[in-house]
Amino acid sequence: MMPSTMTAVQLCCCLCLVMVTTTFGRLHPRNLTDNRLIRRNLLGNGLGGTPQMGWSSWNHFACNIHESMIRETADAMVSTGLSSLGYEYINIDDCWAEQNRDSQGNMVAKGSTFPSGIKALADYVHGKGLKLGLYSDAGTQTCSKTMPGSLGHEYQDANTFASWGVDYLKYDNCNNENRSPRERYPTMSKALQNSGRAIFYSICEWGGDNPATWASPVGNSWRTTGDISDDWGSMTSRADMNDQWASYAGPGGWNDPDMLEVGNGGMSFGEYRSHFSIWALAKAPLIIGCDLRSMDQSAHDILSNSEVIAVNQDKLGVQGRKIKEYGDNLQVWAGPLSGNRKAVVLWNRGSSKADITAQWSDIGLDSSTVVDARDLWAHSTKGSVKGQISASVEPHDCSMFVLTPKK
């Protein structure tokens, strides 16, 4: 697509790449030309201007899902105030359909757990001001092997999903007959675009074929990692794997290191705060994975931090990244925001409390710049900060700041 025909979102993406290059100097040179070409060929469904926000059933419930729970989750998304902060998708993962298609070859909602059908559920979710997501697989069966995949049925299934009022498709990669994802995923992309409904397309290829390098014109987000689990090692490894692809993300198409585990109980408050902060800085999808109906106050406090969410949803759309490391455990992550601001996370991945410092030269600020430093977790501002930002950080925790240059 030539520049004269680029949409505003596409133009913004190309500008974002230039800003990343000039501001941090860390964009991989070998990828720059390819990245610009990729961003000019975004999936043209008008979705994904900022990373998606919502909830998914898999992390907490796996296959133990039913329509009453989905309705109650939609209710909870509203009653907890999370919907007013931008969380909008209620996504049903694997195990929602019958094992076999009907006589016309259509997918059918599982009668024992979704007796009202998906359309009625979509209507209920829409009535709450939310959107409904559904799951399928670019293979012959889904990963649970309890329902059919969409391989060979892409157009039929896309039309079915559209007729039900589905707003989001997570498309997995199991039982794929060893066929290339570059062959399978574009077919569903075209089917969704021809369905007559704007459906967010979340590619769940697990990062095996480096989808960041080819998925921008195909989907609105793409998994860069294998599945996350609710523990410190899994979370940190996914953050690191996702980081290498930072230059490929931007409005319309996002790197996805998998869903949030905040509130599921396997990590400490500080570890969950780090999880949420890094996902927000990295412009990762903020897809909640706990039981919204019974989450505790600490989980709610993390997930509802509007200042951290604002970093994730910043219109500039540049993925922050790891820019400095002291030893093996003390890290500075940072990225540019709109209005010439910087977002900074000082992350202590070690086992003892430590002081961490980000110098202005690390994060693309001139040495003479004076900033107001907003602490996003303490909700306090320190004025007229010069030269560096520092914090004493507890083990497995972080501090997060937005730095606004003073005029």
User: Could you list the active site residues?
Assistant: 172, 227
SS3 state at 223: strand
Determine the Cα angle at 305 with ends 225 and 231, to 5°. Answer: 35
Tokens (6 digits) for 27: 């964009």
Q: Which burial class, exposed, middle or buried, applies to 115 when counting CB atoms under 10 A from its CB (0-12, 13-18, 19+)?
A: exposed
Going by C-alpha positions, the residue among 149, 154, 158, 255 that lies closest to residue 198 is 158
Tokens (6 digits) for 309: 């969410």
Pairing of the two strands 397-405 and 341-348? antiparallel
Going by C-alpha positions, the residue among 310, 314, 234 that lies closest to residue 274 is 234
Q: Which burial class, exposed, middle or buried, applies to 68 when counting CB atoms under 10 A from its CB (0-12, 13-18, 19+)?
A: exposed
Element (H, E) at 133: strand 131-137
Across the chain, how many H-helices and E-strands are there? Answer: 11, 16
- Cα torsion angle, 204, 206, 212, 218, sign: negative
Question: Residue 224: which region, alpha, beta or left (left: phi > 0; alpha: psi -120 to 50)?
Answer: alpha
Task: Please provide residue 24's backbone torsions phi and psi, each rounded to the nearest 5 degrees.
Answer: -115, -20
Please enumerate in sequence order all residues whose Cβ is within 8 A of that of 98, keeping only pairs 6 or more positions apart, or say none. Answer: 107, 108, 109, 110, 111, 147
Whether the Cβ atoms of residue 309 and residue 86 lie closer than 8 Å to each other: yes
Going by C-alpha positions, the residue among 236, 154, 250, 253 that lies closest to residue 194 is 154
Going by C-alpha positions, the residue among 302, 220, 296, 218 that lies closest to residue 260 is 302
Tokens (6 digits) for 385: 């900060």
